[in-house]
Amino acid sequence: MPDSARELCWRQFDAFATAGPYEQATAKLALQPLINLGRLHTRDGHGNAAYRVHHSMFQAAKALTTASIDGREVDLARVVRSGDDHQAVVQWLWTVLLADGLRARCRAGRWSEVLAQAEQHRGIGERLFDGRQIAIVAHSAVGDHAEALRLIDTTTASTVWEQTVAACLTVLCRTWAGQPALSETAAMREAYLRLEPDPGHTVFHIRLGLTAASLTSDARDLRSIGRTIERIVVEAADAYAAQDILALGGQLPLAEHSASVLRETVRAASLGTTVPPQLLDDLILAVRGAEQEIIAALHSC
């Protein structure tokens, strides 16, 4: 439903565009559907188009001018108030650009450009968030493995998830550099097994485990990581995580019962199928009602 999703994004924004400019909380609500347009491009594999959306919004917000988004002109001055509200929205869109925008460019494999943009937008902090992860992979991807490993070694990894990501990145960079990584691979396995499941981050946990599994050739590591992934995804009943696992075929050994549970989870969520006409009609009816409520609320303020 990508086309329908884009239409709904614009309808939501257009409802907010009937009034304004807004204080920061409402301005963020108004701009969220435009951010989602960029994310839809990323999901479709169009990383450069996604980056253009996020970058255009950030630049337009800074100058309170017009952004060009998928062929439409959006005047940010009519959405965001000046003053403190303006600065707060610019700061928010900066974080979106660093997270969603640069990640989209990574999908396009433009590592040198991604690194330059991360540095330009001051996005490489001490913690292992998107900007620093991108810088590490970008340096290693262009052959500067020493700098990549230095960035890992000097990272402030204060949480278990950051320590696990750092361990995965260490193995990745040493592998790309043609360096031995036996002890680092064992450390990666132990770090992943220490990571506590979080219902709100199931897909992240699963994909991190799959990354760790792909970086090891040790049968013991693969079994222990695989069993952990299997348990988490079955208990979570998350259709997207289940789909990721099933897409691997036999690369990650699964008990037959677990594989059956995952197939049923995907089937029950109707992933990969079209929305039944009646449900689509119900959705559009609900959207119309929501549009009317949004417009009424905005004009009553």
Residue type, 187: A
Tell me what percent of the residues of the chain surpass a pLDDT of 70.
Answer: 99
* Tens digit of each residue's pLDDT (9 = 90 or more) over 163-194: 999 999 999 999 999 999 999 999 999 999 99
Q: Residue 1's pLDDT band (boundaries 50, 70, 90)? A: low
Structure tokens at 100: 């969603």
Report the C-alpha gap between 44 and 120 in whole angstroms.
Answer: 27
Say yes or no to pLDDT of 2 above 80. Answer: no
* Helix, strand and coil percent figures for the chain, each rounded to 5: 75, 5, 25
pLDDT digits (tens, 9 = 90+) for 236-252: 888 988 998 888 877 78
The pLDDT of residue 295 is above 90: yes
Residue from 64, 59, 90 nearest 78 by CA: 64
Q: What is the pLDDT of residue 160?
A: 93
Please state, in angstroms and rounded to a whole number, the distance separating the CA atoms of residues 152 and 285: 51
pLDDT one-digit tens code per residue, 31-82: 999 999 999 999 888 988 999 999 999 999 999 999 999 999 999 999 999 9
Give the model confidence (pLDDT) of 86-111 as tens digits.
Answer: 999 999 999 899 888 888 888 878 78
d(CA 13, CA 156): 39
Q: How far apart are CA 11 and CA 278, in angstroms?
A: 20
The predicted pLDDT at position 57 comes to 96
* CA pair distance 27, 20, nearest whole angstrom: 8
